[in-house]
Copies of this chain bind each other. A is one copy, B any other.
């Protein structure tokens, strides 16, 4: 089993090397296989399809992100500061990654088109940390009590959608995006401090 995992990792790394350099479309299964000293067919014993490699790549990227999220969530800064750090980190990290390797954007586009549900997983994961921050904030009295932190988390994500894949949704510079992100957060945080009256049915 360890062997199998190693090979998988090797394939993934070979693929990532090529993809960040040449792009998803310009990277072929044979090339990846060649880099690993195996045949293209053999890759299919480890990945069901090419797009699954892209997904694994994104999943790896996310895993690193989540670790940073976890740290931010459990820091002892006040909840509003953590909320800002949280989203600012996501923005910066993603922006820089795409800045550095522009081809990452292509991977994001392919996944958006071919694996639309994949992004929901990431959002759900993110919400775990968000809820943590919200609950801490409530406990500390920084945020007013709220009935449904899960729903509030979703709404915060919705309001900040624009900052998730910076280069995918807008052409602003990182500086401008950060300013705008914090501007939106100013309003959201004000709302959370004061207490939000939910007017919609949140049951699903």
Nearest residue, chain B, Cβ from A84:
B199
Q: Which positions 185-204 of chain A face chain B at CB distance < 8 Å? A: 186-202
A160 at the binding interface (Cβ < 8 Å): yes
Asked if residues B183 and A187 are in contact (CB atoms below 8 Å), the reply is no
A152 at the binding interface (Cβ < 8 Å): yes
Q: List the number of copies, as a whole number.
A: 2
- A20 CB → nearest B CB, Å: 26
Q: Which residues of B contact A116 (CB under 8 A)?
A: 171
**Known: A116-B171, A158-B162, A162-B162. Contact between A186 and B182, CB under 8 A?**
no
Asked if residues A155 and B184 are in contact (CB atoms below 8 Å), the reply is yes
Nearest residue, chain B, Cβ from A151:
B183
Asked if residues B180 and A158 are in contact (CB atoms below 8 Å), the reply is yes
Asked if residues A199 and B187 are in contact (CB atoms below 8 Å), the reply is no
A161 at the binding interface (Cβ < 8 Å): yes
A156 at the binding interface (Cβ < 8 Å): yes
A189 and B188 CA atoms in complex are apart in Å by: 9
- A102 CB → nearest B CB, Å: 18
Q: Which positions 154-190 of chain A face chain B at CB distance < 8 Å? A: 154-156, 158-162, 169, 171, 179-180, 182-184, 186-190
Asked if residues A200 and B188 are in contact (CB atoms below 8 Å), the reply is no
Q: B-contacting residues of A (Cβ < 8 Å)?
A: 116, 151-152, 154-156, 158-162, 169, 171, 179-180, 182-184, 186-202
Which 4 residue pairs are nearest across A and B when measured between Cβ atoms? A194-B194, A190-B191, A191-B191, A159-B159
Pairs A–B under 8 Å by Cβ, sample size 29:
A116-B171, A154-B180, A154-B183, A155-B180, A155-B183, A155-B186, A155-B187, A158-B162, A158-B180, A158-B183, A158-B184, A159-B159, A159-B160, A159-B184, A159-B188, A162-B162, A182-B199, A182-B200, A183-B200, A183-B202, A186-B191, A186-B196, A186-B199, A187-B187, A187-B196, A188-B191, A190-B196, A190-B197, A194-B194
